[in-house]
Amino acid sequence: MTKIYHNPRCSKSRAALAYLQEQGLEPEVIEYLKTPLSVEQLKALVAQCNLSVRELVRTNEAPYIDLQLDQADEQQLLEAIVEHPILLNRPLVQTKKGVRLGRPLEAIYDIL
């Protein structure tokens, strides 16, 4: 089962979803801003994507700056993402082969 953690307002996320559909896939679309992920779900994604939690955080968003997360540890970052889902970088694509951040889009090719 292919999943995309998606923000429909993000052009990169829309492009990844369109690419998946062009490949004949019908991914489960998870709009994480409407249905925030839990710390446990985030940890599972991190474990599958070969990136650190910090690499999945959008550092230019207001909550990151307001909460002064530049010195936060991974647990604090995970909790901040749960509280402020806009902090999660996107799109994340998950298949049985792993999880990739679709920035650039080509990063997801090896798990399809």
49 included as an active-site residue: no
Kind plus residue range of the DSSP H or E element containing 81: helix 74-83
Tokens of 97: 């082969």
Within 13 A of 18's CA, how many CA atoms are on the CB side? Answer: 8
Please identify which of the residues 5, 7, 10, 32 carries the catalytic annotation: 10
Positions marked active-site: 10
